[in-house]
Amino acid sequence: MKIKKFEDVIAWQKAKILTIRIYREFKNCKDFEFKNQIQKASVSIMNNIAEGFERKGDKEFKYFLFIAKGSCGEVRSMLYLALEFKYLSEKQFREYYNLSVEISKLLSGFIKTL
């Protein structure tokens, strides 16, 4: 399938799901610094995929995919803190962790094809 718009990118679709879940999960979190950081990092994944795609050059797109991949790592790192601080259950942690790993792998594969 030819990717015609960034919304066709599976990594973007999954990043959107992760972002929505992160926003919902931490909506009532009173640790505002933590909440803000994990939400911004999750949004950064999907937005960097979109921005890179819209730049229309493979070299630039690749650059933004690397940034998205970095943000994915940031989300994963913060998930460990969320677990330690008891903001998440082990089950919730695993769910978000696995989704972020899946996104990271999709991004790696996409980078290789470019």
Element (H, E) at 100: helix 90-113
pLDDT exceeds 80 at position 1: no
What one-character DSSP code corresponds to residue 5?
A: S
The answer for residues whose C-beta is within 8 angstroms of residue 10's C-beta and 6 or more apart is: 106
pTM of this structure: 0.95
pLDDT score of 60: 95
Residue 104 — very low, low, confident or very high, per pLDDT cuts 50/70/90?
A: very high
Distance between CA 65 and CA 43 in Å, rounded? 13
Cβ neighbours around 38 below 10 Å, total? 25
Q: Per the structure block, which two tokens stand in for 49?
A: 């995929």
Structural domains of the chain, with CATH: 6-113 (1.20.1440.60)
Average pLDDT score over residue span 22-28:
98
pLDDT tens profile 42-100: 999 999 999 999 998 899 999 999 999 999 999 999 999 999 999 999 999 999 999 99
